[in-house]
Chain A
Amino acid sequence: MSYRIIGDQDTILGYAFAGVPGVAVDGEEQARAAFRSALADAGVSMLIVTRRVASLLSDEIAAHRVACQAPFVVEVGDLWDTPVKRRTLEELIQEAVGIRITKAD
């Protein structure tokens, strides 16, 4: 059980320095194929995807997350991207599951 990253060349090279094997993808088809093969691979327990790839595959990733199965998907920013405000987990959960969690006073 180990890590894998799907992203662009530059980003995955960084992770290679931590010994995380990466799949460089370009475009939606490649990303989709890489994502599916990572899901099918029982040796992958943690899947890191870059934000750009995640936005290409948002439907499949959302479905996979709701199913709550390994590999667990985490999103990270691309190497050359300026940090953008990511959507919070609460928002994602609200969107996918349909419940809103707010602090009760």
Chain B
Amino acid sequence: MARLNVPPTKSSLLRVRDDLRMATEGFSLLDQKREILVMELMRLLERVRVVQREVEQAREKAHATARKAFTRNGFHVMRRIASGIRYPHKTTIRHRVVAGVRLPEITAEHGEFSLQFGLAETDSLVDETMRDYLALVETLGRMAQLENAAWLLARELKKTQRRVNALEQIFIPDFSDTLAYIAETLESKELEAFAILKIVKARRE
């Protein structure tokens, strides 16, 4: 039985009762928050799994094309071609709030597939490489956003979990034990005073 170190008086009884009420309210709120976080995280992880599969496919495809293109054209030629390629990738980060957590929402503007090299000395594999890699980068961007949101939620969940546990296992039992102790002591004191009063009365008669 853990008890707080407070004198068993009427005023501390009131104070501890207030504290207990506050702790219980906080507990139920945090418990709700925890549940929301868990739900959100589960949903997110489901989406992450889907996007990861997409990324894996896009990556396979892009890498296979790149391997073919490198083998056909040679590394140095490819490098020369690549050095002229510019795409204006632009990402903007906004935030969405879920259960008190700021989740980043990344919107990426990707360059449209466009002609960036001479046609005379390049083959279709070069075009395909560019197309596949653009698709890959686009899915990677989505994955980064989801994964990062999952990390944030997980961190917040951990924090909430710890608070919920502290309230449930430590603060609430402490407060209620103290409350019971104070109530008990006050009652016995009252009884004592009452008994003394009786005795005094009896003696005076």
Contacts and interface: CB of A to CB of B under 8 A. Distances in A.
A74 B92 contact: no
Interface string B142-155: 01110110111011
Given A14-B66, A46-B141, A89-B150, 19 more contacts: A1-B92, A2-B91, A10-B75, A17-B126, A19-B87, A19-B88, A20-B133, A45-B91, A72-B106, A72-B144, A72-B147, A73-B144, A74-B144, A79-B63, A83-B56, A89-B45, A93-B151, A97-B157, A98-B158
A1 B18 CA distance: 51
Contact of A66 (B38, B62, B93, B151): B151
Chain B interface size range = 35 or more
A77 B60 CA distance: 9
Contact of A97 (B38, B45, B56, B154): B154
Interface string B111-144: 1000000000000001001100110110011011
29 contacts: A1-B91, A2-B90, A3-B89, A3-B141, A13-B70, A13-B75, A13-B78, A14-B63, A14-B133, A16-B82, A17-B66, A17-B126, A18-B85, A18-B133, A18-B137, A19-B85, A19-B89, A45-B93, A46-B141, A46-B144, A66-B151, A66-B155, A70-B93, A79-B66, A89-B48, A90-B45, A93-B151, A97-B157, A99-B154
Interface in A29-67: 45-46, 48, 65-66
A76 B52 CA distance: 10
Contacts of B85: 16-19
Contacts of B141: 3, 46
Majority secondary structure, A binding face = mixed
A46 B59 CA distance: 17
Contacts of B161: 99
Contacts of A68: 148, 151-152, 155
Given A13-B78, A18-B87, A89-B150, A74 B143 contact: yes
A83 B60 contact: yes
A104 to B, nearest CB: 8
A83 B136 CA distance: 16
Contacts of A77: 59, 63
